[in-house]
Amino acid sequence: MINYTERIALLMKDVVARTPRLSFIDLNQVIVFARFGRSDAEGAFATCHCLTLPESEPGYFFWKDRETGQLTRRSPWFVTKSPQVKLGTTTINYLISFVLPRFSDQTMAGSRKADLYLQTDPWIAKLDTIVHELYHIDPTATGIRAIENADGKRSYRSHGPLFYENVAEMVQGYLASNPDPSLYEFLKYDFAGLTDMYGGVLGTTFRNFPSFPQRYMETVDLPASDPCVRVEPLKLPSQPVVYTEKDLHVRQFTGDRSRRLTGAA
Ligand SMILES: [Zn+2]
Protein backbone atom coordinates (compact mmCIF):
# COMPACT_ATOMS: atom_id res chain seq x y z
CA MET A 1 0.00 0.00 0.00
CA ILE A 2 1.11 3.57 -0.52
CA ASN A 3 1.69 5.79 2.49
CA TYR A 4 0.32 8.98 0.97
CA THR A 5 1.36 11.42 3.68
CA GLU A 6 4.89 10.00 3.72
CA ARG A 7 5.12 10.54 -0.04
CA ILE A 8 3.94 14.11 0.35
CA ALA A 9 6.51 14.72 3.10
CA LEU A 10 9.30 13.36 0.84
CA LEU A 11 8.14 15.53 -2.05
CA MET A 12 8.02 18.56 0.29
CA LYS A 13 11.69 17.98 1.20
CA ASP A 14 12.66 18.21 -2.44
CA VAL A 15 10.40 21.24 -3.06
CA VAL A 16 11.88 23.10 -0.09
CA ALA A 17 15.45 22.23 -1.18
CA ARG A 18 14.83 23.57 -4.70
CA THR A 19 12.72 26.62 -3.87
CA PRO A 20 14.69 29.57 -2.44
CA ARG A 21 11.57 31.26 -1.05
CA LEU A 22 10.78 28.16 1.03
CA SER A 23 14.33 27.25 1.99
CA PHE A 24 13.92 28.61 5.54
CA ILE A 25 11.43 25.82 6.35
CA ASP A 26 12.71 23.07 8.63
CA LEU A 27 10.53 20.10 7.74
CA ASN A 28 11.69 18.26 10.86
CA GLN A 29 9.34 20.63 12.68
CA VAL A 30 6.40 19.86 10.41
CA ILE A 31 4.09 16.82 10.49
CA VAL A 32 2.08 15.90 7.42
CA PHE A 33 -1.10 14.04 8.33
CA ALA A 34 -4.32 12.88 6.71
CA ARG A 35 -7.93 13.76 7.43
CA PHE A 36 -10.98 12.20 5.91
CA GLY A 37 -13.17 14.09 3.45
CA ARG A 38 -15.25 12.92 0.55
CA SER A 39 -14.45 14.07 -2.97
CA ASP A 40 -18.05 15.02 -3.72
CA ALA A 41 -18.37 17.21 -0.62
CA GLU A 42 -17.36 20.86 -0.39
CA GLY A 43 -14.33 21.61 1.73
CA ALA A 44 -10.61 22.23 1.85
CA PHE A 45 -8.11 19.95 0.12
CA ALA A 46 -5.45 20.70 2.71
CA THR A 47 -4.80 23.00 5.66
CA CYS A 48 -1.74 24.44 7.38
CA HIS A 49 -2.17 24.38 11.17
CA CYS A 50 0.16 26.57 13.19
CA LEU A 51 1.16 25.42 16.69
CA THR A 52 3.23 28.47 17.61
CA LEU A 53 0.46 31.03 18.08
CA PRO A 54 0.71 32.50 21.57
CA GLU A 55 -1.83 31.96 24.31
CA SER A 56 -4.82 34.28 23.86
CA GLU A 57 -5.83 37.09 26.20
CA PRO A 58 -8.27 35.90 28.87
CA GLY A 59 -11.92 36.15 27.88
CA TYR A 60 -15.32 34.77 28.77
CA PHE A 61 -18.67 34.07 27.18
CA PHE A 62 -21.76 35.81 28.49
CA TRP A 63 -25.50 35.74 28.09
CA LYS A 64 -27.74 38.81 28.27
CA ASP A 65 -31.43 39.23 28.91
CA ARG A 66 -32.97 40.07 25.56
CA GLU A 67 -35.27 42.74 26.94
CA THR A 68 -33.28 44.45 29.67
CA GLY A 69 -29.81 43.89 28.21
CA GLN A 70 -28.71 42.79 31.70
CA LEU A 71 -25.93 40.26 32.05
CA THR A 72 -27.60 37.03 33.25
CA ARG A 73 -24.88 34.39 33.10
CA ARG A 74 -21.24 34.20 32.19
CA SER A 75 -18.62 31.52 31.69
CA PRO A 76 -15.43 31.36 33.75
CA TRP A 77 -12.45 33.24 32.38
CA PHE A 78 -10.53 31.19 29.86
CA VAL A 79 -7.58 31.43 27.50
CA THR A 80 -7.03 29.50 24.29
CA LYS A 81 -3.75 27.70 23.79
CA SER A 82 -1.97 25.59 21.21
CA PRO A 83 -1.27 22.00 22.21
CA GLN A 84 2.32 20.82 22.24
CA VAL A 85 3.40 18.27 19.67
CA LYS A 86 6.80 16.65 20.11
CA LEU A 87 8.63 13.96 18.21
CA GLY A 88 11.43 12.85 20.50
CA THR A 89 13.07 16.10 21.55
CA THR A 90 11.88 18.04 18.50
CA THR A 91 9.02 20.47 18.98
CA ILE A 92 6.67 20.53 16.01
CA ASN A 93 5.70 24.02 14.83
CA TYR A 94 3.27 23.24 12.04
CA LEU A 95 0.95 20.47 10.99
CA ILE A 96 -0.17 20.21 7.38
CA SER A 97 -3.24 18.07 6.79
CA PHE A 98 -4.39 16.58 3.51
CA VAL A 99 -7.97 15.51 3.08
CA LEU A 100 -8.43 12.06 1.55
CA PRO A 101 -9.82 11.10 -0.87
CA ARG A 102 -10.71 14.72 -1.78
CA PHE A 103 -7.12 15.95 -2.24
CA SER A 104 -6.10 13.05 -4.47
CA ASP A 105 -9.21 13.51 -6.64
CA GLN A 106 -8.52 17.22 -7.17
CA THR A 107 -8.01 18.33 -10.78
CA MET A 108 -7.09 21.58 -12.47
CA ALA A 109 -10.20 21.82 -14.65
CA GLY A 110 -12.58 24.52 -13.53
CA SER A 111 -10.40 25.62 -10.60
CA ARG A 112 -9.23 29.20 -10.24
CA LYS A 113 -5.67 27.90 -10.39
CA ALA A 114 -6.09 26.95 -14.07
CA ASP A 115 -5.66 30.58 -15.16
CA LEU A 116 -2.26 30.74 -13.47
CA TYR A 117 -0.73 27.88 -15.42
CA LEU A 118 0.20 27.48 -19.06
CA GLN A 119 0.74 23.79 -18.58
CA THR A 120 -2.44 22.39 -17.11
CA ASP A 121 -1.85 18.72 -16.43
CA PRO A 122 -4.59 17.92 -13.93
CA TRP A 123 -2.19 16.67 -11.25
CA ILE A 124 -0.34 20.03 -11.13
CA ALA A 125 -3.30 21.24 -9.06
CA LYS A 126 -2.15 18.90 -6.27
CA LEU A 127 1.44 20.14 -6.41
CA ASP A 128 0.01 23.66 -6.27
CA THR A 129 -1.87 22.77 -3.08
CA ILE A 130 1.27 21.30 -1.49
CA VAL A 131 3.31 24.43 -2.26
CA HIS A 132 0.38 26.60 -1.15
CA GLU A 133 0.35 25.02 2.31
CA LEU A 134 4.15 25.28 2.63
CA TYR A 135 3.89 28.96 1.68
CA HIS A 136 1.61 29.51 4.68
CA ILE A 137 4.55 28.76 6.99
CA ASP A 138 5.65 32.11 8.29
CA PRO A 139 9.33 33.02 7.78
CA THR A 140 9.20 35.19 10.91
CA ALA A 141 7.93 32.21 12.92
CA THR A 142 5.05 34.12 14.43
CA GLY A 143 2.27 32.00 12.99
CA ILE A 144 0.65 31.84 9.60
CA ARG A 145 2.22 34.05 6.93
CA ALA A 146 0.47 37.37 7.12
CA ILE A 147 -0.33 39.74 4.33
CA GLU A 148 -0.57 43.47 4.62
CA ASN A 149 -3.96 45.01 4.10
CA ALA A 150 -4.25 48.30 2.26
CA ASP A 151 -4.46 50.02 5.66
CA GLY A 152 -1.12 48.49 6.70
CA LYS A 153 -2.64 46.14 9.28
CA ARG A 154 -1.59 42.53 9.08
CA SER A 155 -4.32 40.16 7.99
CA TYR A 156 -4.19 36.46 8.72
CA ARG A 157 -7.47 35.58 7.07
CA SER A 158 -6.99 36.13 3.39
CA HIS A 159 -4.31 35.17 0.98
CA GLY A 160 -3.66 38.51 -0.64
CA PRO A 161 -3.69 39.10 -4.38
CA LEU A 162 -0.21 37.73 -5.00
CA PHE A 163 -0.38 34.60 -2.87
CA TYR A 164 -1.78 32.35 -5.62
CA GLU A 165 0.54 33.82 -8.25
CA ASN A 166 3.59 33.32 -6.05
CA VAL A 167 2.56 29.72 -5.47
CA ALA A 168 2.13 29.10 -9.21
CA GLU A 169 5.57 30.64 -9.84
CA MET A 170 7.16 28.37 -7.26
CA VAL A 171 5.42 25.29 -8.72
CA GLN A 172 6.65 26.16 -12.22
CA GLY A 173 10.12 26.92 -10.90
CA TYR A 174 10.23 23.57 -9.15
CA LEU A 175 9.15 21.63 -12.24
CA ALA A 176 11.68 23.54 -14.37
CA SER A 177 14.47 22.48 -12.00
CA ASN A 178 14.22 18.89 -13.30
CA PRO A 179 13.23 17.11 -10.13
CA ASP A 180 13.20 13.32 -10.05
CA PRO A 181 9.79 12.40 -11.55
CA SER A 182 9.47 9.44 -9.17
CA LEU A 183 9.01 11.97 -6.34
CA TYR A 184 5.78 13.38 -7.78
CA GLU A 185 4.57 10.44 -9.88
CA PHE A 186 2.00 9.47 -7.21
CA LEU A 187 0.20 12.79 -7.68
CA LYS A 188 -0.83 11.69 -11.17
CA TYR A 189 -3.30 9.14 -9.80
CA ASP A 190 -6.73 9.82 -8.39
CA PHE A 191 -7.89 7.88 -5.37
CA ALA A 192 -9.29 4.96 -7.36
CA GLY A 193 -6.10 4.84 -9.44
CA LEU A 194 -3.93 4.76 -6.33
CA THR A 195 -6.02 1.99 -4.81
CA ASP A 196 -5.71 -0.09 -8.02
CA MET A 197 -2.02 0.57 -8.33
CA TYR A 198 -0.94 0.06 -4.71
CA GLY A 199 -3.72 -2.02 -3.21
CA GLY A 200 -4.60 0.68 -0.67
CA VAL A 201 -3.90 4.18 0.58
CA LEU A 202 -2.43 4.85 4.02
CA GLY A 203 -1.95 8.09 5.89
CA THR A 204 -0.54 9.31 9.18
CA THR A 205 -3.25 10.38 11.63
CA PHE A 206 -3.47 11.21 15.32
CA ARG A 207 -4.72 8.77 17.92
CA ASN A 208 -7.83 10.84 18.55
CA PHE A 209 -8.83 10.65 14.85
CA PRO A 210 -10.87 12.29 13.35
CA SER A 211 -9.58 14.93 15.75
CA PHE A 212 -5.99 16.18 15.78
CA PRO A 213 -3.99 18.74 17.80
CA GLN A 214 -6.09 21.87 17.87
CA ARG A 215 -6.30 25.06 19.94
CA TYR A 216 -8.05 24.40 23.21
CA MET A 217 -9.60 26.44 26.01
CA GLU A 218 -8.29 26.40 29.54
CA THR A 219 -10.03 28.15 32.41
CA VAL A 220 -8.03 30.69 34.38
CA ASP A 221 -8.66 31.92 37.88
CA LEU A 222 -9.41 35.63 37.62
CA PRO A 223 -11.85 37.69 39.70
CA ALA A 224 -15.21 38.27 38.04
CA SER A 225 -15.92 41.86 37.11
CA ASP A 226 -19.53 41.33 38.19
CA PRO A 227 -19.55 38.84 41.08
CA CYS A 228 -23.37 38.67 41.30
CA VAL A 229 -23.76 37.04 37.88
CA ARG A 230 -24.14 33.28 37.83
CA VAL A 231 -21.15 31.45 36.38
CA GLU A 232 -21.96 28.68 33.93
CA PRO A 233 -19.17 26.07 33.79
CA LEU A 234 -17.50 25.60 30.41
CA LYS A 235 -17.99 22.26 28.72
CA LEU A 236 -14.47 21.57 27.58
CA PRO A 237 -13.78 18.67 25.25
CA SER A 238 -11.15 16.37 26.65
CA GLN A 239 -8.34 16.36 24.12
CA PRO A 240 -4.66 15.79 24.81
CA VAL A 241 -2.66 18.96 25.46
CA VAL A 242 0.61 17.19 24.65
CA TYR A 243 1.10 14.82 21.73
CA THR A 244 4.14 12.64 21.02
CA GLU A 245 5.11 10.01 18.46
CA LYS A 246 2.95 7.58 20.44
CA ASP A 247 -0.09 9.55 19.31
CA LEU A 248 0.61 8.99 15.63
CA HIS A 249 -1.32 6.18 13.99
CA VAL A 250 -1.30 4.94 10.42
CA ARG A 251 -4.79 4.50 9.02
CA GLN A 252 -5.97 3.04 5.76
CA PHE A 253 -8.24 5.39 3.84
CA THR A 254 -10.91 3.99 1.59
CA GLY A 255 -13.10 6.18 -0.56
CA ASP A 256 -15.77 6.56 2.10
CA ARG A 257 -14.11 5.92 5.46
CA SER A 258 -10.85 5.05 7.18
CA ARG A 259 -9.70 2.38 9.61
CA ARG A 260 -6.69 2.01 11.82
CA LEU A 261 -4.09 -0.47 10.70
CA THR A 262 -3.55 -3.06 13.37
CA GLY A 263 0.06 -3.61 14.22
CA ALA A 264 1.15 -0.38 12.57
CA ALA A 265 2.74 2.34 14.62
ZN1 LIG B 1 -4.35 28.97 2.08
Residues 6+ apart with CB under 8 A from 33: 5, 95, 96, 97, 98, 203, 204, 205, 206, 212, 248
The more confident residue out of 14 and 72 is: 14
Residue 235 Cα, ligand 1 centroid: separation in angstroms? Answer: 31
Q: How far is the CA of 69 from the centre of ligand 1 (A)?
A: 39
Question: How many angstroms is it from 196 CA to the middle of ligand 1?
Answer: 31
**For position 132, what pLDDT does the model report?**
95
pLDDT, tens digit (0-9, with 9 covering 90-100), for 66-88? 999 888 899 999 999 999 999 99
> Each residue of 90-114: pLDDT tens digit?
999 999 999 999 999 998 877 777 7
Q: What's the 47 CA to ligand 1 centre distance in angstroms? A: 7
CA–centroid distance, residue 77 to ligand 1 (Å): 32
Distance CA 170, CA 25 (A): 14
Asked whether 258 and 205 are in contact (CB, 8 A), the reply is yes
Strand partners, 30: 94
Query: Can you give the pLDDT at residue 155?
Result: 59
CA 44 to ligand 1 centroid distance, Å: 9
- Is the pLDDT at 264 greater than 50? The verdict is no
pLDDT band at 150 (very low <50, low <70, confident <90, very high): low
Output the pLDDT for position 140. 79
How far, in Å, from the CA of 168 to the mean position of ligand 1?
Answer: 13
Measure 134 CA to ligand 1 centroid, in angstroms: 9
Averaged pLDDT, 8-12: 98
* Predicted pLDDT at 198: 96
Q: How far is the CA of 85 from the centre of ligand 1 (A)?
A: 22
Summarised one tens digit per residue, pLDDT across range 156-202 is 556 777 889 999 999 999 999 999 999 999 999 999 999 999 999 99
pLDDT at 223: 84
Q: Is the pLDDT of residue 149 over 80?
A: no
